[in-house]
Structure 1
């Protein structure tokens, strides 16, 4: 849906329909009606997630995506911490306040999107869109996209395994603490450390991990998750369980933004919403199977066996990231520029329009006003590929001409092997920058 109707419209559907379903749920009394409304509510409340992730991928260059997704994750957790406190206070007075408050804030979020968030989905010319429309469906993934789609499926499966470990924090961990003679308040204190760590150190950690390979960071996160839950086998006090929470929270902080950024890196522009939806669904699946499997192991084999299994799954997931996914990711993100040259020349001829946010100030003639200009450009033709003759002799580049939709101005573009496109307007030499990988994926 995000790829078909746009990011903005999808988010507005979520934020404007969800409040209605919330209020209907409050007044519903029939079990069948409650079940149907709950299903619809679950669908629409999460509809915005892939749309928001695709929007961030549209406007943020690859090198900054980990930080951007970390900021979103931090904001969500901060809001959740505040919301849980308010929810308890509202529920003590009357549950209708809880439903109305949630509905109102969701509706207000929709108004913010309506008023301030523009559509960021890259535009595709009608003819090109018709030629590729069937390839938006899962059964008809294009041959050129299969490596990325295979990577996405494997990424989702590994994410589901790690997610199934995280689920134990709210399913079997309280049971294990109760078996150790600890109370519900002890569990609350231990788990509360998760939110505190996320709010206090979430952003600095995301900044720190950007210096490492993203698949290496995911592997480290999987190991920390496995170790954190594995330590529950040795914990006998609230402090011991809290220490374990601190360890797997670090894994959570590393995995959440980096995983989403990786999906944005490898997903074709026209299917960013689809890929983000698949990735998000893997955690939904983890929340479905995690309690069943974890509960069965806990009941039949004991808590120590469960925590050992969690540790093993974390280590196996880390090996999967390093041994299986890392080589594929390297090919998709580095060889992509070289392989994509032919695709560019073949497909990007009067084919696509894509948004460029020119990161320079412009001065309005006549009144001296200044601001940031964002415009759309059409690819006119790709004229060839060669090595950059000046500062970076080892880089691969694509040379071509593009034209602004508003005013046709010939522009020379150059693509470097770090995923950046740089160019100069021939009339005033003002520079712009976009993500080269996004341009190349338009050829798929």
Structure 2
């Protein structure tokens, strides 16, 4: 409890809001396909098409959320995004015709996508001294909410899908209540932004362009990581089913994932802090763990191999996923925090969108072994991107040093 008291109040509010939001979202997102096929009587292809449109809208929503953060501040952006999402959830719950449902799902994707950039941007603002710790805590709370929501969502859905929508909508309303009445957004950050915008820029200032180049390379590597990670939720589940493993065995892997994140992340981050390792080395180490996972699965078809693979993958996830928004926060100029976090969230959404499609093509066309080898190959691209990011940072530091000495 003493550690919890040491956190700034605004960070605690953000964590509580994120817990509520992730729990509510997890009630619904695993059940979308079941609702479309069983509740609306559509086939799996039609469900996949709608979810693809929804994911594509989340990508646009990520950029929109980042843009709005830089224009109207984080609190207003959060309230607007969550109010939009809540309204659409309640509208969908009444039962819609197929075309209206598709439109509502697209708009819902925009709203949901716009939530995360301001959350991460504010996490870097409200506790500047915390560094990556803020993003580790957001990531931890996010996964805890997902674990709770997915476990309860199935129970509620047994009574009625409408109840699932209502619970999700009520969590959005609770999120709005928490943010509206409890979140204090630091005004000094925006005062600094306005001062910077009105101040004359030095003719040789190049840092914003350089940092944006670094961010693009970083986001590209992040996207490749998500393309491979999402295979655990799509192609690998089919692979395990074909090998004869029951659904309960596959679900147990995600229980292991959640427990490792909850209890293992603080230990791993403590270990990284003791090593005094730069955040960029976490990225390279995390990708290597990803590659080891798919290499193991390509040689082992036992359940123990899948368990070990999930453990290794989770360690890589812990190293990579909180680090990328933390680096983006460090790279971002004062007036572009939202845009930078929007690019990070957008990159993740791109990976989550194209990953299932690409994995399905490889799995159906060439088999599981080609899919697993391809994931190793794609991780190689992520390794190159993160290595290039590191080199760009080193080069920019040398350039800045030379300019200072001049």
TM-score scaled to structure 2, two decimals? 0.76
Give the corresponding residue for 1:55.
Answer: 122
Unaligned segments of structure 2, at least 5 residues: 1-67
1:230–1:311 Cα contact (<8 Å) kept? yes
TM superposition shift of 1:330: 3.5
- Give the alignment's Cα RMSD to 1 decimal: 2.4
Give the corresponding residue for 1:395.
Answer: none
CA-to-aligned-CA distance 1:320-347 (integer Å, 9 cap, x gap)? 322x1112224556875885899xxxxx
TM-score scaled to structure 1, two decimals? 0.70
For residues 182 and 82 of structure 1, the distance between their equivalents in structure 2, rounded to whole angstroms, comes to 24
Give the corresponding residue for 1:350.
Answer: none
For residues 277 and 188 of structure 1, the distance between their equivalents in structure 2, rounded to whole angstroms, comes to 31
| 1:333–1:260 Cα change, 3 Å | farther
TM superposition shift of 1:143: 5.1
1:224–1:250 Cα contact (<8 Å) kept? yes
Structure 1 SS opposite 2:232: coil
Matched ranges for 1:372-391 at <5 A: none
1:187–1:238 Cα contact (<8 Å) kept? no
Structure 2 SS opposite 1:169: helix
Matched ranges for 1:153-172 at <5 A: 153-172=216-235
Give the corresponding residue for 1:41.
Answer: 108
2:90–2:165 Cα contact (<8 Å) kept? yes
For residues 2 and 333 of structure 1, the distance between their equivalents in structure 2, rounded to whole angstroms, comes to 29
CA-to-aligned-CA distance 1:135-157 (integer Å, 9 cap, x gap)? xxxxxxx9542111111111111
Structure 2 SS opposite 1:208: helix
2:218–2:389 Cα contact (<8 Å) kept? yes
1:219–1:319 Cα contact (<8 Å) kept? no
Give the corresponding residue for 2:163.
Answer: 97
1:206–1:257 Cα contact (<8 Å) kept? no
1:208 to 267, 271, 284: 271
Structure 2 SS opposite 1:21: helix
Matched ranges for 1:212-231 at <5 A: 212-231=277-296
2:218–2:385 Cα contact (<8 Å) kept? no
TM superposition shift of 1:192: 2.3
Which moved further from structure 2: 297-306 or 207-216?
A: 207-216
| 1:94–1:336 Cα change, 3 Å | farther
CA-to-aligned-CA distance 1:152-174 (integer Å, 9 cap, x gap)? 11111111111100010011101
2:296–2:309 Cα contact (<8 Å) kept? yes
Structure 1 residue runs of 4 or more that deviate by more than 3 Å after TM superposition: 124-132, 330-342
Matched ranges for 1:270-349 at <5 A: 270-322=335-387, 324-331=388-395
| 1:41–1:335 Cα change, 3 Å | same
1:19 to 86, 102, 105: 86
1:174 to 237, 240, 246: 237
For residues 206 and 403 of structure 2, the distance between their equivalents in structure 1, rounded to whole angstroms, comes to 14
Give the corresponding residue for 2:48.
Answer: none
1:221–1:250 Cα contact (<8 Å) kept? yes
| Structure (1 or 2) with the larger CA radius of gyration | 1
* Higher helix proportion: 2
Give the corresponding residue for 2:190.
Answer: 122
Unaligned segments of structure 1, at least 5 residues: 133-141, 343-444
2:93–2:166 Cα contact (<8 Å) kept? no
Corresponding pairs, count: 332
Q: Are 2:135 and 1:69 equivalent residues in the alignment?
A: yes
1:16–1:110 Cα contact (<8 Å) kept? yes
TM superposition shift of 1:26: 1.4
For residues 258 and 126 of structure 1, the distance between their equivalents in structure 2, rounded to whole angstroms, comes to 28
1:66–1:206 Cα contact (<8 Å) kept? no
CA-to-aligned-CA distance 1:309-366 (integer Å, 9 cap, x gap)? 21222234223322x1112224556875885899xxxxxxxxxxxxxxxxxxxxxxxx
| 1:310–1:129 Cα change, 3 Å | same
Structure 1 SS opposite 2:185: coil
* Higher strand proportion: 1
1:53–1:276 Cα contact (<8 Å) kept? yes
Give the corresponding residue for 1:361.
Answer: none
For residues 309 and 196 of structure 2, the distance between their equivalents in structure 1, rounded to whole angstroms, comes to 52
TM superposition shift of 1:288: 1.4
Which moved further from structure 2: 326-335 or 167-176?
A: 326-335
2:124–2:134 Cα contact (<8 Å) kept? no
Higher relative contact order (CA 8 A, sep 6+): 2
For residues 60 and 338 of structure 1, the distance between their equivalents in structure 2, rounded to whole angstroms, comes to 32
| 1:36–1:261 Cα change, 3 Å | same
For residues 161 and 125 of structure 1, the distance between their equivalents in structure 2, rounded to whole angstroms, comes to 33
For residues 170 and 405 of structure 2, the distance between their equivalents in structure 1, rounded to whole angstroms, comes to 50
For residues 134 and 402 of structure 2, the distance between their equivalents in structure 1, rounded to whole angstroms, comes to 27
For residues 127 and 193 of structure 2, the distance between their equivalents in structure 1, rounded to whole angstroms, comes to 23
1:191–1:242 Cα contact (<8 Å) kept? no
